[in-house]
Amino acid sequence: MKPMKAFWLIPWVIPLLVLIAPAAGLAAKRAKAIVTCQPAEARLEYECRILLTGRKSGQPITGAKILVKADMPSMAMAHNVRPVHAVPVSTPGMYKMRIKLEMFGEWTLRLKISGPMRDLVIAKYNFGTHHDAKGQDGKTLFVTKGCDHCHGNEGRGLANIKNTPFPRLAGQNPTYLVNQLKALKSGARKGAMSAIMQPPALTLSAAEMKKLADYLSKVK
Ligand code: HEC
Do 85 and 14 share a domain, yes or no? yes
Please indicate, yes or no, if residue 1 is contained in any of the structural domains.
no
b/e for 25-48, b at 16 or more Cβ within 10 A? eeeeebbbbbbbbbbbeeebebeb
pTM for this model (two decimals): 0.60
Distance 179 CA to ligand 1 centre (A): 12
Please indicate, yes or no, if residue 132 is contained in any of the structural domains.
no
Report CA dihedral (151, 201, 140, 14) to the nearest 10 degrees: -120
Question: Domain end: 95, 127, 159, which one?
Answer: 127
Do 97 and 143 share a domain, yes or no? no
Do 117 and 173 share a domain, yes or no? no
Distance 197 CA to ligand 1 centre (A): 5
Domain that holds residue 213: 138-218
Highest mean pLDDT among 10-14, 54-58, 109-113, 116-120: 109-113
Do 121 and 27 share a domain, yes or no? yes
Do 91 and 15 share a domain, yes or no? yes
Do 38 and 110 share a domain, yes or no? yes
Residue 186: which CATH number?
1.10.760.10
Question: Domain end: 62, 96, 127, which one?
Answer: 127
What are the start-end ranges of the H helices in the chain? 138-144, 147-151, 174-186, 194-202, 206-218
Whose alpha carbon is nearest atom 41 of ligand 1?
147
Highest mean pLDDT among 44-48, 72-76, 166-170: 166-170
pLDDT bracket for residue 78 (50, 70, 90): low
Looking at the CA of residue 191, tell me the nearest atom of ligand 1. 18
Please indicate, yes or no, if residue 120 is contained in any of the structural domains.
yes
Please indicate, yes or no, if residue 147 is contained in any of the structural domains.
yes
Q: How many domains is the chain built from? A: 2
DSSP H or E run through 162: none
Ligand 1 cavity residues, CB under 6 Å:
17, 34, 36, 145-147, 149-151, 165-167, 169, 177, 180-181, 189, 191-194, 196-197, 200, 204, 212
Do 120 and 25 share a domain, yes or no? yes
Residue 61: which CATH number?
2.60.40.1930
Do 11 and 118 share a domain, yes or no? yes
pLDDT at 84 over 90: yes
Please indicate, yes or no, if residue 169 is contained in any of the structural domains.
yes
CB 157 within 8 Å of CB 164: yes
Whose alpha carbon is nearest atom 33 of ligand 1?
147
**49 phi-psi bin (left φ>0, alpha ψ -120 to 50, beta other):** beta
User: In terms of pLDDT, which residue wins out, 103 or 162?
Assistant: 103
Do 20 and 52 share a domain, yes or no? yes
